[in-house]
Chains A and B, each alone.
Chain A
């Protein structure tokens, strides 16, 4: 007799540490070790494949062998804590920053951040997109107090390296890509209709978008624009707003409560 809880804990420990639980029965023709190995192998393979699905370009950059080493190390440190395997890999960014030696180039840590943001943008919540015609109906006197909501898929990530080139080359199956250069910048990740997108931002746009994401009103956005482009702050703010509308980054606008 083995209590159910003991069976499960022994089995789980066996899977995590590749030890055959004592309560697993073998047969004369197929010993328990061979049988249990089906589970341990499938566990590693399944979770490695799940990580690959979330980090396809990292997989391509590292190659099978190095990616599997990383996946196994990550799996040992962070077994899945989500019921849905779709979220496996959510802590890979932190993990590689603690375990830098696992990556051959520090830029790959940024690639991990980019790919995870793309992953999150892919199935982020749906929202109605704010249209230019809606903005056109807002009286001019209300504009200074307008605040905007960003689409739930929008992520603004600070990167140290130009990993976008790596990503683009991988997607174009271009083996001759240049190594990423050290180039601190912000990258915008979002979903437009059903497709995920990203683009690196000039410092000015990044600052304004960051401010907007923190519910700053349009007057504040214009003030900040003046500190970036003192000659024509309003033109900068309006042109960026138009770009964000075209990119479908905005979902709603409302008046800041007085």
Chain B
């Protein structure tokens, strides 16, 4: 069972995890990094998995695309899940390409009834194929569709209920999108169906003034810590991790930042944050 606080596993820290085994409740892997035939990635995955619980986080499901579901990808994902035995599998509420082109970005969907129906049907098929509920994550966005019929938080909440899936709430993404589109991030958090939110992501971003960019290349900002505290006050303790994908610092620095997350969570929920003991 996944509880407490985790980090994203990055190649820069393989040796730290293998040699020093720092205390950490769990690790999140990017599924695609291990959807390869063999070699170093799977070697280190197996070694590190022996010491840490893991969850799998994908970037290629393209659940919102109008292309057919990619069952080759899903078969590979299922095989990887048999190897990793993850606490859960997540991906993003987005599309990543159409007409068999892959843009490798987490692209925004129009928030319409048609999109809701499309997603509900596809999520059900994916969950049936994988034999488990998946978590879907809210993405950062810089544009909205001029034909949206509802706001993002209503859409997300309605989708989770209809598709009977779980949610990965990225608090930094809520903040980024709120700034970019001028909504109140707390209103978004208030609308989240608490029992469906199974994981939280935190990350850093770049503030360019007119727009805020979700870069994962900086420490978590104070505004995001504040929104995280608010989220836990509303929803209670939820397994939380830091995503860092660029300018990756030494592991010690991320562990120190995670300790700050744990303290924030403890203060917000009035419960001692659960943290692995060495």
Chain A residues packing against B (C-beta within 8 Å): 1-5, 7-9, 11-12, 15-16, 22-27, 29-30, 32, 34-36, 38-39, 42-43, 46-47, 50, 79-86, 88, 121-126, 152-153, 191, 194
Contacts and interface: CB of A to CB of B under 8 A. Distances in A.
Contacts of A29: 210
Interface residues of B, number: 46
B211 A4 contact: no
A124 B143 contact: no
B251 to A, nearest CB: 21
A152 B37 CA distance: 10
Nearest to B146: A25
- Chain B CB within 10 Å, residue with most, of A4, A32, A79, A85: A4
Interface in B61-112: 62, 64-66, 70, 73, 95, 97-105, 107, 109-110, 112
B210 A34 contact: yes
A123 B41 CA distance: 7
A135 to B, nearest CB: 24
A4 B105 contact: no
A24 B73 contact: no
Given A25-B144, A124-B37, A8 B42 contact: no
A85 B146 contact: no
Contacts of A123: 36-42
A120 to B, nearest CB: 9
Contacts of B142: 35-36, 38-39
B105 A43 contact: yes
B33 to A, nearest CB: 8
Interface in B155-180: 180
A7 B145 contact: yes
A158 to B, nearest CB: 24
Residue among B105, B109, B213 facing the most chain A CB atoms (10 A cut-off): B105
Nearest to B115: A4
A39 B114 CA distance: 24
Interface in B33-62: 33, 35-43, 60, 62
Given A8-B66, A25-B143, A3 B114 contact: yes
Contacts of A126: 37-39, 42-43
A80 B144 contact: no
Given A42-B105, A80-B104, A85-B104, A4 B38 contact: no
29 contacts: A4-B64, A4-B109, A4-B114, A5-B66, A8-B95, A9-B99, A12-B103, A22-B146, A24-B145, A25-B146, A38-B142, A46-B104, A46-B105, A47-B104, A50-B104, A80-B102, A81-B100, A81-B101, A83-B32, A83-B62, A84-B36, A85-B32, A85-B104, A123-B38, A123-B39, A125-B38, A126-B39, A191-B39, A194-B43
Contacts of A122: 39-40
A23 B39 contact: no
B20 interface: no
Closest 5 CB pairs of A and B: A126-B38, A123-B36, A123-B39, A125-B37, A25-B146
Interface in B3-45: 32-33, 35-43
A5 B143 CA distance: 17
Interface in B228-274: none
Contacts of B118: 4
A214 B32 CA distance: 32
Nearest to A83: B60
B131 interface: no
Contacts of B37: 123-126, 152
B39 A153 contact: yes
Given A8-B65, A34-B211, A123-B37, A1 B147 contact: yes
